[in-house]
Chain A
Amino acid sequence: MSRVRTDYEKTLWRKIVRFVNGEKDLFDEQSGFNVETEELEDRRHRNFFEEAELNKKKVQIAELIEERSEETEQRAVKLYERFYRLFAVITCVAIIAILLVTVANLPDYGDPDNPANNEVSKKYIEDGIKDTGAVNIVAGMILDYRAFDTLGESHVLFIAAVCVMILLKIDPDSEKGKRFISLENDRAYEPKNDPILVWATGILVPIIIVFGIYVILNGHLSPGGGFSGGAIIGAGLILYLNAFGFKKTERFFTQKTFSVVSVSALLFYSISKTYAFFTGANGIHNIISKGTAGDIISAGLILPLNICVGAVVACTMYSFYGMFRKGGL
């Protein structure tokens, strides 16, 4: 009887259900996919997070659960849950009701006479090509008219990367990190060289990366731009990493690559925008030519800025993944 039950608990569906329900087995159970590596991963896990501390925690959690099973506690929890449900429903309904009434009084959907369709959007559309040289008016707007927002936004990504590093990076020189490095074999986390994955990746990744570069370079001519193209390239890199493992990617992408690329891209961004802001505010003529609208080399600074943003986004996406996986690049 119990055997049947454990099998049931180990099925993929149950795992998904438990993951969606947010139960506790998100990381521990993953090794179940590969029996061979289970022990290794367990060892690594324990070493890294300090066995003694871990055991202590486990005992504490067990104690906690024990305590929770006491009847009074149970009743309190139930009461809390009921209260939580009630409160959640009330909040949700109140917010929705207030905002739905508000929405009814807003300008009509799709009406050309709305206050938002004013001289600002008129200027962006009618003079966009003359002012910025970009055929894609949205690109012209975010990288030229309202460039300060976008400058802040690319730094938001950088800050997020820094925060993720602070949280998850493992220092190879520290005690903890040394033990982690000595175990090293991060392929334990990865699937074995799966022929389907390797072959498919071999075909797909070049296409994905070329497509990403295309999207970045045509940011001022067609839908897309630095952020979308960068995200595509980042996804391509992550796919490559999943198929071939960190050993291969480390040949061309390390912590140093990340620092050099993102720092130089962001510095170029800041400096070129300082130039644009300074000349703009002081009424100095901007010497950067706009080129012929529609050409690939046109639109002044928008193309180089798109490339910078794309580089930063691709590096950041890849670094998020690397940090989540093994605490380093």
Chain B
Amino acid sequence: MDLCTNFPMFSIILCLMCGVVCSVLKKNMARYVTYGLLTVLVVLSAAVLGYTVSIDGSFIYQMGHFGAPFGNELRAGVLEGVFTVFFSVIMYLSVIAGEKHIYEDVEESKINLYYTLICLMMSSLLALTYTNDVFTAYVFVEINTITAAGLVAVMGNGRAYFSSAKYMIMSLLGSGLLLIGITLLYDVTGHLLLSNIKYAVVTSTIKEYAEPFTIIIALITIGLSIKSALFPFHSWLPDAHTASTISSSAILSSLVLKAYIVLLIKIYYRAIGWETVLETGVNDIVFVFGIMAMIFGSVFAIAQKDVKRMTAYSSVAQIGYIFMGIGIGNAAGVVAAVFHIFAHGATKSMIFTSLGGIKEVSRHSTKLDAIKGAGYRNKVASVAFAVGAFSMVGIPFFPGFVSKINFADAAIDAGGPKMIVILVALAVSTVLNCIYFFRALICLYTPVSDPGGRLTEEVDNTKPTAKYIGAMAFFIVANLFLGTFSDMIIKLITRGLSMFS
């Protein structure tokens, strides 16, 4: 057996151990440990990706001395490799770009606990991607929920507590539905491992329980979509994103929400079977809510006066895109949805971190009238925001454009009434995106006359740090890379998805 196959297990346990150790370290040591951990994770994940590409297949890692169906398992294929590399890189960049804000926003003695939560959050993201067992997935979903609530509440003001509580409540509703779904799934199949569940579904065992099975798929889907803030359940998202420190906002919108979607796709493909999902028609419900999220998220975003809140509502719309892609019901749709996970993840974390830089030079506010002229005060952050806005609107050479093209392709593949609905929704959503992102961009680059010189005084002592500039530059490069080399990524995704079944 190759050494590379051990890396998924090593990376998850390393995260857990670093998290535990960080809780007793001083704040700077905890930071170094976290950076070291994230560096190691990028390397390990890249190694797993390279290994799976080189053997052109996936491998199952047996956790313990007992193979399937008795013990736990991890599974890694090309898609898992791409996801973990993406998760570690985005986490790394978000934490580095927000470092200064973490030190400002979080209480002095709790900074090491913040890094503890980051490490443990990373472990849950990796475990959700690699796991091959529904109950392990449930345990790590809960880890993800609690750490995310902690990352919001760490700000230590009333608004943060309130949004954290709101997030917890919505999330726990989702967990409850997911848990009872998993319980029923275990009851009708008798297994907890994804591959064994699929075997039970494919063979005759499941036939007499066809009715409960539809309910099970619906329960798991609703549970996970509540957790990833699909449209009617999105109300916690803008609050949580606005109230938290910028690293937390970036992590929440680009990683936490995505991990649940990854798990959902994994359960669809590896446990239930994509054909079975299509037979039950659950994907049509997902499709309808996805379309509604695309439109309503953008409409709500237009009504906002705070750019951070506006970006959060834009996340609601983009989550709608992803669910819409899953709901189309053909392979191309899922590929487009997975690509949009990457595109939105890279872009949205960049927008949130750039807003951190803009906030510094705009009297610590992200209101539209406060950020006027910030484009001349903090050039790096504003350029990053502009790149993000172009990507979200869908200008060529940026990742958002590629995913929109892919969605349209998938729609044309699907044909019928769905095609018309998708194309209209894409057009409307693009126009709405244009309205609010360009409004923010215009505000950003409106020169302000500054008679009292008050602004310039504030600007002088808030130069962006070298780390911030580096992280933003890396973000921009990553986005341009996703936009221009999208063919390669899409090839990897298609290959990974074909390994799933």
Contacts and interface: CB of A to CB of B under 8 A. Distances in A.
Direct contact of A and B (CB under 8 A): yes
21 contacts: A105-B209, A114-B187, A115-B190, A116-B190, A118-B191, A144-B64, A146-B72, A147-B64, A152-B139, A152-B143, A155-B120, A159-B147, A163-B153, A166-B150, A171-B109, A171-B110, A263-B23, A270-B13, A279-B65, A280-B63, A281-B1
Contacts of A270: 13, 16-17, 20
B20 A166 contact: no
User: Which range contains the number of B residues in contact with the other chain?
Assistant: 35 or more
Nearest to A158: B20
B200 interface: yes
Contacts, number: 175
Nearest to B3: A282
Contacts of A267: 17, 20-21
Contacts of A282: 1, 6
Interface string A113-145: 011111110011000000100000000000011
A30 interface: no
Contacts of B401: none
B215 interface: yes
Nearest to A118: B190
B445 interface: no
Given A107-B188, A281-B61, 18 more contacts: A99-B215, A106-B187, A106-B209, A114-B190, A115-B187, A144-B66, A146-B71, A148-B72, A156-B142, A159-B143, A162-B150, A171-B110, A173-B109, A267-B20, A270-B16, A276-B65, A277-B64, A281-B62
B84 to A, nearest CB: 17
Contacts of A35: none
Interface in B1-33: 1, 5-6, 9-10, 13, 16-17, 19-21, 23-24
Interface string A156-194: 101110110111010101100000000000000000000
Given A102-B211, A115-B188, A147-B63, A266 B13 contact: no
Contacts of A98: 215
B154 interface: yes
B187 A107 contact: yes
B117 interface: yes
B113 A152 contact: no
Interface in A256-297: 259, 262-263, 266-267, 270-271, 273-274, 276-283, 286
B217 to A, nearest CB: 12
A163 B146 contact: yes
Nearest to B68: A120
A174 B109 contact: yes
Contacts of A66: none
Size class of the contact patch on chain A: 35 or more
Contact of A148 (B63, B188, B209): B63
Contacts of B70: 120, 123-124, 145
A160 B188 CA distance: 33
A311 to B, nearest CB: 13
A149 interface: yes
B120 A159 contact: yes
Given A102-B212, A281-B6, A149 B136 contact: yes
Nearest to B150: A163
A106 B211 CA distance: 9
B149 A163 contact: yes
A46 to B, nearest CB: 18
B116 interface: yes
Contacts of A107: 187-188, 209
